Amino acid sequence: MDMLKPGSRMLRLLKASTTPSPDPAFTPFVTASSEEIRYAQELRRRIEERYLSRPSKRSARRR
């Protein structure tokens, strides 16, 4: 049985973006506590506030 023939279940799983990888070797191994995740989210928010909310040099030159 060829798992990669068009219409096969494996091909459908690979094309589905929300389906986890059928092979654990292709799944990144990540461990983080909920506290670490919240800290990373807070850092991201601070970076966005600090760097993405200010006008760029290009738009400042137009004034």
So what's the pLDDT on residue 42? 96
So what's the pLDDT on residue 47? 92
Q: State the pTM of this model.
A: 0.41
So what's the pLDDT on residue 30? 74
So what's the pLDDT on residue 52? 84
- Full DSSP string of 25-58: GGS------HHHHHHHHHHHHHHIIIIISSPPHH
Place of tokens 């983080």: 32
So what's the pLDDT on residue 18? 55
pLDDT along the chain (63 residues), means of 10: 57 60 70 91 93 72 57
So what's the pLDDT on residue 25? 74
Distance CA 11, CA 6 (A): 7
